[in-house]
Chain A
Amino acid sequence: MAAGAASGGSARSDTYKEARTWLLMPSWIVLSLLVLAPVVMMLIYSFLTKEFRGGVIWEFSTAAYDQFFCSRGLFGDEPCSIEWTYIQIFWRSIWQAAAATLLSLVIGFPTAYFIATRPEKIRPLWVFLITIPYWVNLLIRTVSMKFVLRDQGPLNDFLMATGLIDDPLRIVNTNFAVQLGLFYSYLPFMVLPIYASVERYNFSMSEAAADLYASKWTTLRRILLPAVKPGVIAGCILVFVPSLGSFLAPDLLGGAKNFMIGSLIEEQFKGNAGNWPFGAAAAMILLSMVLVILMILARQQARAQKGAEA
């Protein structure tokens, strides 16, 4: 079923076979024109010369990629040595996205498992409860998070009133705040695939393990986890990928010190400091990373599918 979903399922009938081209034409046109063509144009722009005050000059140049990877000294005349500034920003983004993914997994896995072991009738309601916040405006969720976490915010008020702490915790503008924001942004993407695979899990396998005197935690580690691994991996990737290029959580919760890819790209298109080719190049590098991750996922799912059929 997973592989079927990946290719859009199979056709149910061929009633409207003659009209097929006309039925699909609007989506082809709109998406090629407004998504595919722009990405191609972005690739072209990343190889053009920058114009000051934004925009480009139509002249081939690798300056954008050179600026990203190469440091050429103060006057720009030295041979290329590795430029760490932007690689570091990418590295920080990867690290932050990974930490957010881990946080989502630690909290999301027990939640998904708990929901999947509820009586069948009320499971959709639980799933609904988990997904509601996802449909609330991401900006509003992030602002709400900032409101609660800030130094004079309700969380600190509460902790000080209960006497747990004497001075307010400084959470906003830390790495942890960004991770919490990312967790809040994408948690349902972790819970839903894990839930789906735990729901399909055959619990008689756990029983067999228990009959053979395996402890509960051994059963979890050796039987359940391997069985639901595809769901866990899918969940991790679905949280990791959007976290990598996120803009709102790092911008609102992280402050200047916790700059991530999203802010780096955004900066190139705002105001006079902008450098469009460089922004396009950074976006291309991000897109390539994401596509590689998605291809690994697709291959892994295809293999899991084959394993299930065998």
Chain B
Amino acid sequence: MTKRTHDIRRYPGFLPMTILCLTLLYAPLIVVTIYSFNSSNSITNWEGLSLRWYVDVFTGPEAEKFKRAAWNSFTIALIAATTATTIATLAATGMIRAGQFKLRTLSFGLISLPLMVPEIVTAVATLIFFNSIGFVRGYTTILLAHIAFCIPFAYMPISARMQGVEDTYEQAALDLYASKRQAFTKILLPLMMPGIISGFLLAFIISLDDFIITNFVKGAGVETLPTAIFGAVKQGIKPNIMAISTMLLAVSIIMVTISYFISKSDNKT
């Protein structure tokens, strides 16, 4: 029976398609990573391995610009992800551990709104909003916009985890005369940690990656890494851009991998 089921499940051509799919997904990233180690000035010819362009990123003529952009990207991602994770954790508690209520569907709609509205529309709307209230565009406007669109990304893993955590532990604490605040901070939050960390990491990557919204709400002179890279790429792809891209790629992959293993080890327990 198992053998026959196996046969029925298999379709010729599906394996090659999967391989084609993975090739299309990974080949461009691998090629750019390889070429970032090229010692040549041109992006076309291969002249041997070197770390030259990585050195260039940190010490070359554009180093100051990239350092400032990287600092902006990093601090915005850190503050936005922390704030969004805090808001999302509170919201998840209100949604999942505070009974049924009338505005529940509406609240969920509001939380997932940034996922439904196309990014370019959010970008235009946010720009118009800041303009209409006379808010000068710059670091703060980028940060505020990032906090908003990071919330649903932090919310998803946190609410998934909260659905999975039994409330018997909190009930036990309450039976032993813990206050609700203590049940929340001493019992629920520690149990929620894997979800909270995943949520934070996803929000962090989403903020780090954002180009479109940042491009609209940034003021003159304030750049994040993606907007700086976009500006540079408009003049043509240069080897130092590939070195920066490879580093950013590594950061994203490391963070996603950490998030994956946290949720995996979590499923086992």
A39 touches B125 (CB 8 A): yes
Cβ 8 A contact of B125, one of A38, A242, A290, A291:
A38
Assign chain B's interface to a size class: 35 or more
A interface residues, tally (CB under 8 Å): 99
A9 and B31 contact, Cβ closer than 8 Å, known pairs A113-B14, A128-B260, A269-B124: no
- Knowing A27-B111, A55-B131, A148-B28 are in contact, say whether A8-B95 is a contact too (CB < 8 A): yes
Q: Indicate with 1 or 0, residue by residue over A7-19, a CB within 8 angstroms of chain B CB atoms.
A: 1111111111111
| B27 at interface by CB-CB < 8 Å | yes
Evaluate contact between B122 and A115: CB separation under 8 angstroms.
no
Determine whether B211 belongs to the interface, using a CB cutoff of 8 Å to chain A: yes
Residues on the A chain within 8 Å of B167, using CB: 12-13, 15
Q: Determine whether the beta carbon of A144 is less than 8 Å from that of B29.
A: yes
Interface residue? B69 (CB, 8 A): no
Residues of B within 8 A of A248 (CB): 211-212
CB distance from A177 to the nearest CB of B (A): 12
- Give chain A's interface residues, CB within 8 Å of chain B: 7-24, 26-28, 30-32, 34-39, 41-42, 45, 55, 107-108, 110-111, 113-115, 117, 124, 128-133, 135-141, 143-148, 152-154, 180, 183-184, 187, 191, 203, 206-207, 210, 216, 219-220, 241-242, 244-248, 252, 261-262, 265-266, 269, 276, 279-280, 283, 286-287, 290-291, 294
Give Cα A14–Cα B101 distance, bound, in whole angstroms.
10
A245 to B22, CA, bound (A): 25
Residues of the A chain whose Cβ atoms lie less than 8 Å from the Cβ of B183: 15
Task: Sample 8 A-B pairs with CB under 8 A, ordered by A number.
Answer: A17-B98, A19-B98, A35-B117, A136-B249, A143-B229, A207-B8, A262-B212, A287-B121
Residues of chain A lying within 8 A (CB to CB) of residue B230: 139
- Contact flag A32-B253 (CB < 8 Å), given A24-B90, A42-B124, A113-B11: no
Cβ of A247: which chain B residues have Cβ within 8 Å of it? 119-120, 212
Q: Which of B58-66, B142-150, B191-199 contacts A (4 or more CB under 8 A)?
A: B142-150
A276:B128 contact, CB within 8 angstroms:
yes
The answer to whether the Cβ of B70 comes within 8 Å of any Cβ in the partner chain is no
Q: Are A244 and B245 in contact (CB under 8 A)?
A: no
Say yes or no: is B264 at the interface (Cβ < 8 Å to chain A): yes
* Residue B24 CB within 8 A of the other chain: yes
A286 / chain B contacts, CB cutoff of 8 Å: 118, 120-121
Q: How far apart are A199's CB and chain B's nearest CB, in angstroms? A: 12
List B19-56 residues whose CB lies under 8 Å from chain A. Answer: 20-22, 24-29, 31-32, 35, 43-44
